[in-house]
Amino acid sequence: MRTIVRSAERFETAPQASPKTAAQGHGRVARRLSWRTNRIDLLLEQDDRAGLERVGMVEAIHELNGVASREVRSFRLSLDGSNAETFARAVRRHWREENKLHWVLDVAFDEAGARVRKNDAPENLAMLRHVALNLLEADATTPRLPWKGPTGRAEDLMRLPCWSCARGASMSAPSAIAPKAARWARGIEREGVMAKGVKTQFTCQSCGYVSPKWLGRCTECGTWGALVEEVEPSKASQARPAWGASTGQTKPVLLKDVDGAREARRLTAIAELDRVLGGGVVQGSLVLLGGDPGIGKSTLLLSMMDRLSRDRPGLYVSGEEALQQTKMRAERLGVRSELMHLFAETDLEKELGATEKLAPALLVVDSIQTMFLPELGSAPGSVSQVRECAGRLMAWAKKTGVPTFIVGHVTKEGSIAGPRVLEHMVDTVLYFEGERGHPFRLLRAHKNRFGSTNEIGVFEMKGAGLVEVPDPSALFLSERPKNASGSVVTSTLNGTRPILVEVQALVAPTGYGTARRTAMGVDSQRVALLAAVLEKKEDVQLVGCDLFVNVAGGMSLTEPASDLAVCAALVSSLQNRPVDGQTLVLGEVGLAGEVRAVGQVEPRLAEAQKMGFRRVVLPRSSAKRLDLALTMEVLPVDSLREALALLF
C-alpha cells in the first residue's frame, strides 16, 4: 500500500471521485476528497498489484491556526459495485466510531495521562476502563456518550455520571476530570465545539492561592495536595456586580448622619438559637452554619423555617437532597407551615431569580458548597465558586433585608471547608458540635457582628428532631454517680449562662515506660501542668500513673476557673476518696500552688444554689467580693493545700 500512497497523484486521473467535503471543530478545518477505482493498472505495475481488485484513497487537508497539512490514506476495498461516495461515507463512519471511542477513553477516563507502566498494571487498568465504558453504553437510564463533534449536545453531556461534577450533580467525577468537563461543556454551549484558547490555573482550595502550574504543596498556606486546576475567569465573569453591603447609597455620608436605630430582629421561637444569635435574627444578616455530617444542621434550619414562615413565605433551597427527601424530614419534624417553599437547585442565578419573584421573609441555602455560577466554569465547591456565590448572597441579603442562612461543610479537621474568606464575609458563624453517639448538641457562635460569641445553645437529638434543653445543668448532672471517687462538680460560664458540669478523673498505675496524660473536654497541656503542681507543691505522687480526665456530657472547659476541680478529681481518684456530692469547686490554680480569683462568681453560685448544692469551695479574693445572699456554705481558700484539706 505504500506504493499506492507514493502513486497518489495518479488517482486524479482515476474515475469515481466523490464530492469534496469539509468539517471543522476545535479550531481546525479539514477538507477531504475521496477516490475509488478498480483500475489497478493505472496505479501499479504488474509486479505490485498482488491480487488487488479495488482500492480507495482519501486525501485530507487540515488547517490549524492558519497552517495547512496534507495527509493521504489508502484502503483495500471489499465493497463490490460501490462508488466513490459510498466509499467516503464508509470511511467517515469508521473513523467516527474510532474517534468516539478514543476520545472518551482519553478525556473522560484520562487514559493519556495514566502513568501506570509496570508489570500487568497497564493492561488491567485499560481493561477496567473498557468495562466502565461498556457499562455506561449499556445503561438505558442515561443518554449515550456523545462523540467529539458539533452534534454533541451539552444537555446530554450534563446528565452523564462521569461528567456530572461539571454542573454540580449529586454524582461526582475525579477532581482531575472536572475542569476538563467544565471547559468542554462550556465550549459546546457556546459554539458546538471546544472553546479556542481556554486558559487554566491552579487554585489552592484552602487559602485561594493561584499558581500558573501545579504544585504539590501550596507556597502560601503550606497545605499538601490542595491545588486544583480551574478555568481562568473570563472578562465576562470578572464584570460581576459589586458585593458590597450597599443599601442604595451612591456616595459617602457623614457618621453623624447615619441612622443609629437598633437593628431589627425577629425571634425564631427557638430560645436556644435566639440566645446564640444575640436575641433573634437580624434583618439582612448572612449567617453561616457549619458542623459534622448528620449533626442536625438541616434539621435545625428546617425547624426555624417552620416558625418564621407562618405569616410570610420562606424559601428553603436544597442542593444536596431531592424535594421528596426534604418533605420526609419535614413530616418527621412536624412542620405545619403552609407558606414554606422548597427549591432543589444548584445554579445560583436560577435560585436568586426565583427568590426575587417569591420575596421570602427568610432564605436558607443548603449548602454553599453545592452552589455554582455558570460563568466561572470551575466545579462546585472550588474556592472561586464558594467565594463568588457567598458574595452574591451577601449582596442580595444586604440589598433586600432578607436574613439568609447558608450551610457549610466542614473538613476532617473540623473547620469549614472552602476559603477562609468565607467566614470573614458572613455576619455570623455558628458551629454545631456534638458526639455521634451522644444525644446532646451544642450550638456555638464563633463570630457574631450582632451579639456575643460566648453564648451556647444546648439541644438534645430525639426521634422527632432537636429538642431544646432550657436547663443544661440538670441535664449534665442527671447521670452523675453517687459516692464515686474522681468526680467533682464545677461551674463554667458561657456568655451570660452558667452551667454546672462534672469533671471526672481516673488515676491508675501505668503499664508502660512513660505515663500517659489523656484529656477530653480539657486542654491536655493544662492537665499536665496541674499534675506537675500537685507533685511539686503538695507531694501528690502521680509519677508512674496514667492520668485520664474527662468532662461529662461533651462540654469543653476553656476557662481556668475549673483548675481546682481538676486537681480535686485527680487527688480523689488517686486516694480513692469521693468528694461530697453537694460541694461545688471553683478556682484557678497558679504554678506556686495558690488559688486565684475567678470572674462573675454570683451567677455561678446562684445556679449552684438553684440545683441544691449546700457548700462551695472558692478563692478567698472572690468570696470577699460576693454581693449575693446565699444559703450555701462558702469555704474560701488561698492555696491548693487548703482546698485539699477541706475536701478530704
Answer for the pair 508, 517: CB distance below 8 angstroms, yes or no. no
Provide the pLDDT for residue 6.
47
CA distance 434 to 294: 10
Q: What is the 3-state secondary structure (H, E, C) of 264-291?
A: CEECCCCHHHHHHHCCCEECCCEEEEEE
Q: What is the pTM of this model?
A: 0.59
Provide the pLDDT for residue 197.
56
- Flag whether pLDDT at 637 surpasses 90: yes
What is the rounded average pLDDT of the residues 557-574? Answer: 94
Provide the pLDDT for residue 294.
84
- Flag whether pLDDT at 144 surpasses 90: no
- Flag whether pLDDT at 182 surpasses 90: no
Provide the pLDDT for residue 92.
76
Residue-averaged pLDDT of the chain? 79
What is the rounded average pLDDT of the residues 331-354? Answer: 91
Per-residue buried b or exposed e for 384-398, using 16+ beta carbons within 10 Å of the residue's own CB: bbbbbbbbbbbbbbb
What is the rounded average pLDDT of the residues 364-390? Answer: 87
Q: Which three cell numbers stand for residue 284?
A: 439582612
CA 526, 532, 535, 538 torsion-angle sign: negative
Residue 88's pLDDT band (cuts 50, 70, 90): confident
- Flag whether pLDDT at 236 surpasses 60: no
Provide the pLDDT for residue 471.
85
- Flag whether pLDDT at 477 surpasses 80: yes
User: Which contacts of 38-41 are long-range, i.e. CB under 8 A and separated by 24 or more positions?
Assistant: 39/14, 39/15
Provide the pLDDT for residue 313.
93
Provide the pLDDT for residue 28.
65
Higher pLDDT, 112 or 592: 592
Per DSSP, the three-state class of 370 is helix
- Flag whether pLDDT at 456 surpasses 50: yes
- Flag whether pLDDT at 583 surpasses 90: yes
- Flag whether pLDDT at 143 surpasses 80: no
- Flag whether pLDDT at 559 surpasses 60: yes
Provide the pLDDT for residue 183.
43
Provide the pLDDT for residue 242.
52
Residue 111's pLDDT band (cuts 50, 70, 90): low
**Range in 132-136, 195-199, 351-355 with the lowest mean pLDDT:** 195-199
What is the rounded average pLDDT of the residues 460-478? Answer: 85
CA distance 16 to 56: 10
Provide the pLDDT for residue 212.
87
What is the rounded average pLDDT of the residues 8-25? Answer: 57
Residue 585's pLDDT band (cuts 50, 70, 90): very high
Percent of the chain with pLDDT over 70: 75
Report the 10 Å Cβ neighbour count for 337. 17
Answer for the pair 506, 526: CB distance below 8 angstroms, yes or no. no
Tell me the DSSP string of 552-564.
GGG--B-SGGGHH
Residue 486's pLDDT band (cuts 50, 70, 90): very high
- Flag whether pLDDT at 635 surpasses 80: yes
Provide the pLDDT for residue 534.
95
Provide the pLDDT for residue 529.
95
- Flag whether pLDDT at 578 surpasses 80: yes
Provide the CA 543 distance to its chain's centre, in angstroms. Answer: 45
**Range in 132-141, 198-207, 276-285, 339-348 with the lowest mean pLDDT:** 132-141
- Flag whether pLDDT at 153 surpasses 50: no
Integer CA distances (angstroms), 317 to 39, 368, 404, in order: 71, 10, 11
Higher pLDDT, 550 or 465: 550
The residue type of 327 is K
Residue 162's pLDDT band (cuts 50, 70, 90): very low
Provide the pLDDT for residue 159.
38
Which range in 122-126, 131-135, 346-350 is most confidently predicted, on average pLDDT?
Answer: 346-350
Write out the H or E segment, with its range, that includes residue 230.
strand 227-231
- Flag whether pLDDT at 261 surpasses 80: no
Beta strand ranges found along 449-557 (DSSP E):
456-462, 465-468, 487-494, 497-509, 517-520, 545-551
Residue 362's pLDDT band (cuts 50, 70, 90): very high
Provide the pLDDT for residue 545.
92
